[in-house]
Chain A
Amino acid sequence: AQSVAQPEDQVNVAEGNPLTVKCTYSVSGNPYLFWYVQYPNRGLQFLLKYITGDNLVKGSYGFEAEFNKSQTSFHLKKPSALVSDSALYFCAVRRDTDKLIFGTGTRLQVFP
């Protein structure tokens, strides 16, 4: 069975500073990994995904994520945070065409 863990309920960062939102996964075989963002009272929006290839994946709004197979991690990063990045972030994993499983979410708060 696949699973994903987001160890931090909340991440606080000052505007302009780099941010990292952590995600680790457990899946047999090759993982498909995703990051989504959710703004208040909205649905989830796709940010980026890793299927295969380059371990550094670039996505929407300047976000990127690095796939690390040995550490089974897929941390979300951004070099310079914006106040408008404040939202709930979800990591998700699936194995091949299996169902997509989401983590518990990490609330990112960017302070001006």
Chain B
Amino acid sequence: DAGVIQSPRHEVTEMGQEVTLRCKPISGHNSLFWYRQTMMRGLELLIYFNNNVPIDDSGMPEDRFSAKMPNASFSTLKIQPSEPRDSAVYFCASSPTSAGELFFGEGSRLTVL
């Protein structure tokens, strides 16, 4: 199994630009999670989906952030417009059940200048 696949692994962009992060969960997993990791705030849950439906997006920091899961094998996290304080590592994780352990991707390191 290829595991959770995230792209890009690294992104450097300028303030105001749109950023799209992508995630392919493990086949057969029906829950998908987006986390953000920073030194200051640690690991924060942004949003999670069950069976492609957003269940809890209370962690999404602002309207500039949006996430979609159009099908069981793909999800995107979009930031528009991006700001320097959005610089972080963004992790996608999937789980075979809503109560099981999470399997994490390698993360997307975002730097906003």
Q: Is A111 an interface residue (CB 8 A)?
A: no
Q: What distance in Å separates the Cβ of B36 from its nearest Cβ neighbour in chain A? A: 11
- Asked whether B86 is an interface residue with its Cβ less than 8 Å from the other chain, the reply is no
CB atoms of A49 and B101 under 8 A apart? yes
CB neighbors of A among B71-113 (8 A): 91, 93, 98-99, 101-107
Chain B residues in 8 Å Cβ range of A34: 101
A102: B residues at CB distance < 8 A: 35, 42-43, 45
Residues of A within 8 A of B33 (CB): 99-100
Number of interface residues of A (CB under 8 A): 21
Cα distance A43–B107 when bound, in Å? Answer: 6
Q: Return the contact of B98 from the options A46, A97, A101 (Cβ within 8 A).
A: A97
A38 → B minimal CB distance (Å): 9
CB nearest to B102 among chain A residues: A100
For the complex, count residues of B whose C-beta is within 8 A of A.
19
B18 at the A interface (CB under 8 A): no
SS of B interface (majority): strand
Complex contacts, B11 vs chain A, CB 8 Å? none
The 0/1 profile, CB within 8 Å of B marked 1, for residues 93-112 of chain A is 01011011111110000000
A44 and B99 form a contact (CB under 8 A): no
A-side contacts of B48, CB under 8 Å:
99
Q: Residues on A close to B: CB < 8 A? A: 32, 34, 36, 42-46, 49, 51, 90, 94, 96-97, 99-105
Knowing that A43-B93, A100-B102 touch, tell me 10 more A-B residue pairs with CB under 8 angstroms.
A36-B104, A42-B107, A43-B105, A43-B107, A94-B99, A99-B48, A100-B33, A101-B45, A102-B35, A105-B43
10 residue pairs A–B, Cβ–Cβ below 8 Å? A32-B99, A36-B104, A43-B4, A43-B104, A43-B106, A49-B101, A90-B43, A97-B99, A100-B45, A104-B42
Query: Which residues in B have some Cβ–Cβ distance to A below 8 Å?
Result: 4, 33, 35, 42-43, 45, 48, 56, 91, 93, 98-99, 101-107
What 9 A-B pairs are tightest by C-beta distance, nearest first?
A43-B104, A97-B98, A102-B43, A44-B104, A46-B101, A104-B42, A43-B106, A97-B99, A43-B105
